[in-house]
Amino acid sequence: MTLKLSGIIVVLATGGVGFILWVALSLLRNLARSVLGHGEQSPAPQILHSIQCCHKECGADNPRAARFCRRCGTSLAGDTAGRWQRVA
């Protein structure tokens, strides 16, 4: 009985130590990220590869792979070639 109880305590203690280590590590990681990566947070890279909605009153940025505007639902794939020619 006592042996079983001490076994349970050991298991709980091990789990607690592991948990504390995990929390400490994640805190350190967050700290390191906030110190090292200060001002280096890349601003949404998908904006660079986006298609602007051709709808006059929308103009929302959509992922290049998108077929329809995520804001107004206008088809984006329709005149892609024409827009590419205009760009180039």
Q: Which residues bind Zn ion (CB under 5 A)?
A: 53, 55, 58, 60, 69, 71-72, 74
- Compute the least distance from the CB of residue 56 to Zn ion, in Å: 9
- Compute the least distance from the CB of residue 81 to Zn ion, in Å: 19
Q: Which is nearer to Zn ion, 23 or 72 (CB)?
A: 72
Q: Which is nearer to Zn ion, 29 or 71 (CB)?
A: 71
**Rounded CA separation 51/71 (Å):** 12
Q: Which is nearer to Zn ion, 33 or 70 (CB)?
A: 70
**Rounded CA separation 27/25 (Å):** 5
- Compute the least distance from the CB of residue 35 to Zn ion, in Å: 40
Coil vs helix vs strand at 56: coil
Determine contact, residues 69/56, Cβ cutoff 8 Å: no
| DSSP string across 22-34 | HHHHHHHHHHHHH
